[in-house]
Each structure stands twice: as C-alpha cells, then as structure tokens.
Amino acid sequence: MPAKENDLLRKNAAGYYRKDITFRGRKYAVRSKTLKGLFTKLAEKKRMLEAGMLIPTENTYAADWCMRWLEEYQRPRCGHGQYLNYRANITRHIAPSLGRKRLCDVQPADLQRILNRQSCYSASHASKVRYTLRAIFEQARLEGLILSNPAEHLTLPRPERPGTSHRPITDEEERLILEVARTHRAGLWVKLMLYCGLRPGEAIVLRARDIDLDKRRLSVHAALEAVTGKVKGPKSASGVRTIPIPDLLMDDLRAALPASPDALLFTQSRTGRMHSRTSMRCMWMSFKRELDIRAGAVVYRNQIITHAIADDLVPYCLRHTYCTRLQEAGVPINVARELMGHSSIELTSRIYTHASELPIQQAEAAINALAAQRHPE
C-alpha cells in the first residue's frame, strides 16, 4: 500500500485501523490493531474472495449464527441432553452478550468478557462455555464466514471462592419444590438433596442397602462423578458418612425402597439402567421446568418464553440450604462438616458461621423439629 495512503489511515476510538475493500459491488470491512496486521488481513480477504472461499457476512449476526450452529450442526449429531446443555449455554450466557454484533466483528475480547462472567459458576461450567464458543466460531471459520477463530485462545477465568456461587432456596421456592415433588419422578431425589444434604451424584446412585429405615439412617459410599460420569468412591474419607433421615422423608423412602438390597433407588425411566450424568442433568431440567411453569412462567408452543424461576437455582442450592438449616438448628460446625461430607472445616465455615454444643443425636431431633415447624401437617 502506498506510503501516502498509510498516512491517511487512523485508528478509531476502539483502537483499530479499518479499511473497506470492494469485490463485485459489495463492500467488506477489515480491521486490525496494527498496520501490518491490517495489510495481512486485506491480502488474505482478497485471496479468499477471488477464490470463492468467502461468502458475504455483512448481515450475519453472531447471535443468529450461534443458533444456526446449534440447530444445523449439533442437533442432528448429539444426544438430547447434550443438545439441551448447548442450548442453555447459548441462550443464557452467549447470545444475549453478543446482541446485534455482526459475526465478522466479534473480537477475542468480546468472547473473553463472556467467559469471565462465568467465574461465579463452577470451573467445569466455564470450561463447557469455552468449548461451546470455540466450536461455534471454528465452524464459522470452516464455512468461510470469518478469517480466524476469535475463541481459539480464550483463557478460563479463576473461579470465585467455592461455596459462594450457591445460595439457600427461598420459602416460596421450597413450597413449589414440594408441590412438584409429589408427582415428578425426580421428587425424592430432589428432597434427598434438600433434607439430607446429599450431592446430586451421591443421591442418584443410592441403593436399597444404603437406607436403614429402622435406625433412620442413610449411608453414603459412592457418587456419580461429574466429569467422567463413572461411579466412584468419595474424593476423601470424609465423603463416606451416615446421615439421619428426617421424618419428612420416611414415608417417601418406605414407598420407594426396592426389595433387593442391591437395587438402585433411582433408574432411568426408559431403560431401567443407572442414571448417567446426562440423564441426571435432564431430570433436573425437567423438574425445574415444572417449577418454572408452576411459578407462572410464560409458555408459547411448549417453549418457556419468560422464566419465573431464578436462573441460579441449581441442585447444589438444595444442599446449601441443608447446611444453612443445620446452622439455624444450632448444630456444631464440626458435626455439620461430618454430615455434609466436607473435606475440611473451612468449606463448611463458608456457609456455616457459628457453632453450638449440641451433639449429633440432638442435631437429628433439631432437624426434625425444624422440618415439622416449616411443614406442619
């Protein structure tokens, strides 16, 4: 490019050099933070246009491309549960942040900001959002819609302190949960998390032998691992524990308990097999959908248009609620740590802020009394 033309190029307010090129009557914009990068991109775009490798993208919005990627490239090839996960990530975390930004204008910084907002969630969630972003924009690159993948070098944000992203449920949420639990197949699973403080993966692999109705005790020996989907022992020795069964669950457990000691308490409805992490996630999403509708969500053509249930209501909120109520009942923090299966008392202290001198037997009575007070017959 001639030196005189170089002198006319100035950075815009965002710090980019920009130049438009015209090909067959259509303008294409090229941007870069350096002149060298601008010239390189100009040459590459010209080459791709002349070779027929680039299609016009001026009217292709990034949010629209995300949904097209989901429906055309993922829905035909992935399972229903995985499809729902992709859709949730796109509709909740990605598309709203992209707004009406054109696909060709999306910069790495735009996507890094999206990823940084996931720091309040788990590390695995942030990793899934990054994977989704990379896949979406890599497909756009392969289609010739963009020259490079702006999500290629995204950095995972540092998660906030463990325990801060989950909250106790509200009284209204609990009321709705108990209503839906009466008829939904996930009802007992949800109530075990809420009233026994089990992790989702611990509750889903319970067997009949783990429930002792005579002693009113529940034993935790294993869990469905979130990452691998395999059933493994707890991460630490503290994960193996015995938990008192509150009065509120006795009738439900008695009705659901299989005859065989080795039989699972929860199985997939279609196959009768042990739940996978995908089917477990689908079961929660189905339960939460019913909660949403019961709470007054706006539904159009079987799709929820306006949600009534908070987006941050996740299974771990139920477990968090259990720990909070141990504190309300005056259960000592060391006993709470044992019941929660925390590897260190610091984890418990993030939820649990004061201790008392009640022994574990009194803790059981206190939990039952608190449950009866909240749900009188």
**Model pLDDT, residue 356:** 39
pLDDT tens for 93-106 read 898 888 888 898 89
Q: What domains sit in the chain, N to C, each tagged with a CATH number?
A: 3-50 (no CATH), 62-142 (1.10.150), 171-374 (1.10.443.10)
What is the SS3 string spanning the chain? Answer: CCHHHHHHCCCCCCCCEEEEEEECCEEEEEEECCHHHHHHHHHHHHHHHHCCCCCCCCCCEHHHHHHHHHHHHHCCCCCHHHHHHHHHHHHHHHHHHHCCCEHHHCCHHHHHHHHHHHHHCCHHHHHHHHHHHHHHHHHHHHCCCCCCCCCCCCCCCCCCCCCCCCCCCCHHHHHHHHHHHCCCCCHHHHHHHHHHCCCHHHHCCCEHHHEECCCCEEEECCEECCCCCCEECCCCHHHCEEEECCHHHHHHHHHHCCCCCCCECCCCCCCCCCCCHHHHHHHHHHHHHHHHHHCCCEEECCEEEECCCCCCCCHHHHHHHHHHHHHHCCCCHHHHHHHHCCCCHHHHHCCCCCCCCCCHHHHHHHHHHHHHHHCCC
**Model pLDDT, residue 52:** 60
- Assign 357 a pLDDT band (cuts: 50, 70, 90): very low
**Model pLDDT, residue 61:** 87
pLDDT tens for 270-296 read 899 999 988 998 999 999 999 999 999
- Assign 21 a pLDDT band (cuts: 50, 70, 90): confident
pLDDT at 160 over 70: no
Whole-number average pLDDT of the chain: 84
pLDDT tens for 51-61 read 665 555 556 88
**Model pLDDT, residue 237:** 76
